[in-house]
Chains A and B, each alone.
Chain A
Amino acid sequence: MVYGLLIVGIVLITLVINVLRLMTTPSLNRWLLVGASSLVVIWHGILFDFYDLHWSVLLLIATGLICFQWTGMVTAILVGWLLVYSQSGDLSFPLLLSYIFFGLGAALLFGYIKQLKRERSDRLRMLTTSSRQLNVFREVSFTMQDTLDPDRLLQTILTSVTAGHGLGFNRSIIFFADPEKDSIYGVMGTGPMNPEEGYQIWEEITRQHYDLQDLIDEKETDSTHDEPLNERIRKMTFPFNSNHVFKQTLDSGRPQHVYASITDDAVLRLLHTELQMDECTIFPLHHQGIPYGLLVIDNVVNKKPITPQKIDGVRPIAEQASLALHQTTLYQRIETLALRDGLTRLKNHRSFEQDLDVLFRECDEDELSLIVMDIDHFKHYNDTNGHLAGNELLTRLASVIRRSVPDEQMAYRFGGEEFVVLLPRFDEIGATHVAETIRSAVLGTTFTHGNQQPGGQLTLSFGVASKHTLRDQTVEQLIECADQALYAAKSRGKNQVCRWEGVTL
């Protein structure tokens, strides 16, 4: 019966105090646990006339140790010993010594358990950090390997360091370096302008359950959250050759961890003023000694400190990004060599054929027009002034054409002294108008030795054809008809625009 009462009493006391202590602060929680053990000891003493108090005090010592480490243990030993003395009237030093030995043994055991738990906890934290970095690095590597599109590459870099699925920084910005033009300029960023905007974006992302790939894809659409930030950073330009933190970072090749609010550095001051940036880290993006730019990260929203461990976590991504930028740049150069005319820098004949194929397929019901133009008496110009002057003329003429067309990416050097312009969504009247604009621009431009041409000036003849006037809707026929119209312009006296009017070829 008394044992039943003992157990019921202990369970009740423990349960009640367990509930109460968990409702309080951590400190009070510990005091209540010690209090619970004291009540249990008292309850036991009441039931058994405090006969075994010298034994039950051990529970108090152990609880004191668990709750307040060495201080708790020593206090509990003294209190327990005095309690036993108050009950027995015998001041037993061997008992005190026994309590001390018990306390030491228990302290060693609990210390060991605590150390094991701490090590386990540290290992879990390290494993979590390393696994996260590895996962992000892996996903980013796949995405980077998958693209040679510079914009997508930049989006991948930025998103991988900011998104929750990524390294979780609040904001990241990429600046490009151009030593030849003595310029470092803002290119792209992701993140909010201020904490309030940050929370809004964050809640939206949380609601939508985006993953890393979704966020990278989302940035390719018009619905990006980052437009205000991008508008501001695209206006930022710094001289490459000045002594500022960007240059220092590129020169040292190492990340720089800085506070923008407490510095005289011109770059950091601007970042602080324009973007509310304070603690931030700047990573160089360079490969084989070639500086490509800089990656800047900060925690503008939650203000979490950027620790050395976190900086180390970004470094592999920054290095991978540098390599990817290097490859993309090389690819772009090769593409330029393959698809651009080396003399005039306009797109070349191969480019024209590729673009025309694509446009023809895509325009479907939409109109598509083509202008073919040819320099009048170019042979005479070459014979009179030499081929070097001829090349110079072609270069100058290309820049006039580039300035006179709606989209300079749609102007091509067709071959020799012949140029073409593609005009999606232009009918033959609109295209004729564009051709007239080019013709007027050419007439209004002074070319070297142009006055030695027949007629006293350099002129061009133009042929225009539009898709809807063709009998067979084919690429070949569009070129053929524009060429026929050009031939007509030549035969009607040159320096004029002729339109293909749908006459059967």
Chain B
Amino acid sequence: MSEFSVMMMVVAFVGTILLSSRYCYLFILRHIAKREAAALHVSLQDVSFSFDQMVYFIALPTTIPEVRDAMKDELIIEPYYESHFFPDVNGIQVSVKSGQEVIPITYLPIDDFSLPILDRYLETRKIDERTNRIIRAHVIVHDRTLQAIRDEVYHHLHEDRIRQ
């Protein structure tokens, strides 16, 4: 019976880590990013960003029906993490689901997420690499950014259809 308790211990420990790490990560990210931004006298709401380095994996204009006809709400926008134990957002991926198949549309690596103010602070050593990474990660996973990415991708898919 006590071997059962060991199994429960393992399951509870690993399960709690896997299920909570990303939420804890996002919570901590928000907390630290706001604190660091306040120290820099920067409002994260007003920070200019651009996802001009977002890379499309499909040719535009596309002829893939699932992508071409996808509605804005059907675009799946999600952060990309490499590890469950040590969550660290590496980018934002956009895809569309067609039945069981997930069709990747575009990917924005976090290192290519353009936040000029952070680059300037990093260059002038007002912030260190870790702070840069934290604020950058917070901004990229922020709802406002994800919505802007959704709008941008949808716009690109449809703008190029109009051109076509």
Q: A10-B13, A25-B130 are in contact. Are A164 and B6 (CB under 8 A)?
A: no
Contact B16 A11 (CB under 8 A): yes
Contact B13 A128 (CB under 8 A): no
Does B5 touch A at the CB level, under 8 Å?
Answer: yes
Contact B21 A128 (CB under 8 A): no
Contact B32 A199 (CB under 8 A): no
Question: Would you list which residues of chain A between 7 and 40 have a CB under 8 Å from chain B?
Answer: 7, 10-11, 14-15, 18-19, 22-23, 25-26, 29-30, 33, 36-37, 40
Smallest CB-CB separation from A202: which chain B residue? B116
Smallest CB-CB separation from A118: which chain B residue? B82
Does A494 touch B at the CB level, under 8 Å?
Answer: no
Contact B9 A56 (CB under 8 A): yes
Does B114 touch A at the CB level, under 8 Å?
Answer: yes
Question: Would you list which residues of chain B between 1 and 54 have a CB under 8 Å from chain A?
Answer: 2-3, 5-6, 8-10, 12-13, 16-17, 20-21, 24-25, 27-28, 31-32, 48-50, 52-53
A187-226 vs B, Cβ < 8 Å mask (1 yes, 0 no):
0000000010001001101110111000000000000000
Q: How close is B113's CB to chain A, nearest CB, in angstroms? A: 10
Does A140 touch B at the CB level, under 8 Å?
Answer: no
- On chain A, the number of residues with a Cβ less than 8 Å from chain B's Cβ atoms is 56
Q: A10-B16, A127-B57, A131-B56 are in contact. Are A19 and B24 (CB under 8 A)?
A: yes
Smallest CB-CB separation from B120: which chain A residue? A199
Contact B85 A206 (CB under 8 A): no
Task: List, in ascending order, chain B residues with CB within 8 A of A30's CB.
Answer: 86
Task: List, in ascending order, chain B residues with CB within 8 A of A52's CB.
Answer: 2-3, 5-6
- On chain B, the number of residues with a Cβ less than 8 Å from chain A's Cβ atoms is 45
Contact B116 A59 (CB under 8 A): no
Contact B119 A199 (CB under 8 A): yes
Q: A55-B3, A132-B55 are in contact. Are A19 and B50 (CB under 8 A)?
A: no
Does A135 touch B at the CB level, under 8 Å?
Answer: yes
Q: How close is A117's CB to chain B, nearest CB, in angstroms? A: 6
Q: How close is A297's CB to chain B, nearest CB, in angstroms? A: 16
How distant is the Cα of A30 from the Cα of B88 in the complex, in angstroms?
A: 14
Interface of B is mostly: helix
Does A269 touch B at the CB level, under 8 Å?
Answer: no
Task: List, in ascending order, chain A residues with CB within 8 A of B59's CB.
Answer: 138
Q: A15-B24, A22-B24, A55-B6 are in contact. Are A132 and B53 (CB under 8 A)?
A: yes
Smallest CB-CB separation from A207: which chain B residue? B48
Q: A23-B32, A40-B9 are in contact. Are A18 and B53 (CB under 8 A)?
A: no
Contact A14 B120 (CB under 8 A): no
Smallest CB-CB separation from B21: which chain A residue? A18
Does B78 touch A at the CB level, under 8 Å?
Answer: no
Contact A195 B13 (CB under 8 A): no
Contact A14 B6 (CB under 8 A): no
* Residue in A19, A25, A58, A128 whose CB lies within 8 Å of B55: A128
Task: List, in ascending order, chain A residues with CB within 8 A of B64's CB.
Answer: none
In the assembled complex, 24 residue pairs joining A and B whose CB atoms fall closer than 8 Å, in A order, are A3-B8, A6-B5, A14-B16, A14-B17, A14-B20, A18-B20, A25-B130, A29-B86, A37-B13, A40-B12, A41-B9, A52-B2, A59-B10, A121-B90, A128-B107, A131-B56, A131-B57, A132-B55, A165-B52, A168-B53, A168-B112, A199-B123, A202-B119, A302-B119
Question: Which 3 A-B pairs give the minimum distances between C-beta atoms?
Answer: A164-B52, A14-B16, A206-B50
Residues of A within 8 A of B (CB): 3, 6-7, 10-11, 14-15, 18-19, 22-23, 25-26, 29-30, 33, 36-37, 40-41, 44, 47-48, 51-52, 55-56, 58-59, 66, 117, 121, 124-125, 127-128, 131-132, 135, 138, 163-165, 168, 195, 199, 202-203, 205-207, 209-211, 301-302
Can you add 20 more A-B contacts, CB < 8 Å, to A33-B17, A56-B6? Answer: A11-B12, A14-B12, A14-B13, A14-B20, A15-B24, A22-B28, A26-B86, A40-B13, A48-B5, A55-B6, A58-B10, A66-B85, A117-B82, A128-B55, A164-B52, A164-B53, A168-B112, A202-B114, A206-B49, A302-B119
